[in-house]
Structure 1
Amino acid sequence: MCGRYATTKDPATLVKEFDATDDTGEHKPTADHNVAPTRKVPSVVARHPKDADGTPRQDAPAERLLRVMRWGLIPFWAKDASIGNRMINTRSETAASKPAFRRALKRHRCLLPADGWFEWRRGPAKGEKYPYFMTTTDGSSLAFAGIWETWRDPKAPDDAPPVVSCSVLTTDAVGNLTDIHDRMPLLMPREQWSRWLDPDVEDVSDLLDPPSLEFVDRLELRPVSDKVNNVRNNGPELLERVDGSTDLDSPALFDKGTLEVP
């Protein structure tokens, strides 16, 4: 977790929902129903405005901005971008101690808006897996806690733009989510957004715990089509419920012995 998710809202909707300013420029995010690693994704950051010389003005309040980043964090010290393909997720429990993530956790935190994320539950037969889509019931966006970095290709021309990349923080699954997978994205409740994004706060260890059971219980765990398995498939049908034995509430699952009745 998390290897695929969906983010389908346009910038105008996201800036309103996250109380941000659109800073995506010419890189406007488009609807993606099957986000895969290395794709461009919308993100929300908070940064101090810069003066004419490009220096952040610490005396000015930080601004919340909607930007676009590459999913798969490339540490600033990396020699090439390929390392980012393995860093789409960061364990929240160890992010503060790992060289690839600790600077970003202190200085470069973001929120990654999502309609929801996909996960696969193991079936009774070897290799059998059922896809689920975890989403809100009211259509509001989830906010994945993320970190980001700016990387410059040492082989690129000096005037080449840097690559801004991100990683999703993950944590132990909570509640019914444990029936599907033991890990989940670190979901950030709205009341914690400001502190998580605050560039002047370095210690956010108190925000790294798994979300509350009450928060997770409001999610829908929706069985979906296995078309999501193929990254080339990308349409709204991937988010539609598929009724049948993959439903966690289906008696057929208990007959197979794949889940325990509470």
Structure 2
Amino acid sequence: MCGRLNVISDPLCDWVSGQLGIKFHSETNRDLRPTQQVATIALDGAALKQIDASWGIKPAWAKRLLINAQAETVRQKRTFAQAFAQHRVLVPCSGWFEWQQAGAVKHKYLFQGRDEQPLLMAGILYPQLDGRHALVTLTTKPIASCAPYHHRMPLLVAPQAVDFWFHSQPHELDALLNSPEISLLIQAC
């Protein structure tokens, strides 16, 4: 689920900078994968700032890299609860990809905002001892248009909910952690 992002710097960087009032920069990467650097937006004191992070964590108990956490249980799971309480971020992107198996053939689909409107995916950061950061994105139940393609989708935060996302206590965010009300464009690739 949501293991590939589509990041197109123009118009994404201008849109994020204008919407959030910060200087945001991200390189175009039409196939951003786990372990690669992702530009995120974090709250630093009272101001928003960009923090670049490596996508995925590997706890000692895990057999593989964890790139996603379920929004419905993020507050309860020990691996995610502290990061969710203290290090929530947004991941600006142009869209994400899913694959659907049809017999022996896999079909790739791009999910993006209507009119190519950038999306803000919810995530949590893990600060590392060396000053770098790792990222896990949050997923939720799919909206009706996404359900035929996958049983999960990224948790998307509407621009008008950004302040609420960053300034609320974890227990106050339950309403945001469900399927978002958003209209998406889905294209076969």
Q: Is TM-score (shorter-chain normalized) higher than 0.5?
A: yes
- 1:64 matched to 2:43: no
Name the counterpart of 1:172: 141
TM-superposed deviation, 1:192: 1.1
| In structure 1, distance between residues paired with 2:175 and 2:13 | 32
| In structure 2, distance between residues paired with 1:143 and 1:114 | 6
Name the counterpart of 1:219: 184
Runs in 1 of length 4+ with deviation above 3 angstroms?
A: 82-85
Change (3 A) 1:162 1:85: farther
Give the structure with the higher percent strand.
2
How many pairs are equivalent? 187
Residue 120 of structure 1 aligns to a residue whose secondary structure is strand
Contact 2:75–2:170 (8 Å) recurs in 1: no
Residue 140 of structure 2 aligns to a residue whose secondary structure is strand
TM-superposed deviation, 1:40: 0.5
Q: Structure 1: which 5+ runs fail to align? A: 49-61, 153-160, 225-262
TM-superposed deviation, 1:140: 2.0
Name the counterpart of 2:169: 201
Q: How does 1:53-202 map to 2 (within 5 A)?
A: 62-73=46-57, 86-123=65-102, 125=103, 127-152=104-129, 161-198=130-167, 201-202=169-170
Residue 89 of structure 2 aligns to a residue whose secondary structure is strand
Q: Structure 2: which 5+ runs fail to align? A: none
Change (3 A) 1:176 1:139: closer
Contact 2:121–2:155 (8 Å) recurs in 1: yes
Taking structure 2 as the reference length, the TM-score comes to 0.89
Contact 2:16–2:92 (8 Å) recurs in 1: no
- 1:4 matched to 2:23: no
Name the counterpart of 1:21: 22
Contact 1:73–1:148 (8 Å) recurs in 2: no
Aligned-residue identity in percent: 26
What is the CA deviation profile of residues 28-69 of structure 1, one whole-angstrom value per residue up to 9, with x for unaligned ones?
631111000010011111121xxxxxxxxxxxxx10112211
Amino acid at match of 1:21: I
TM-superposed deviation, 1:21: 2.5
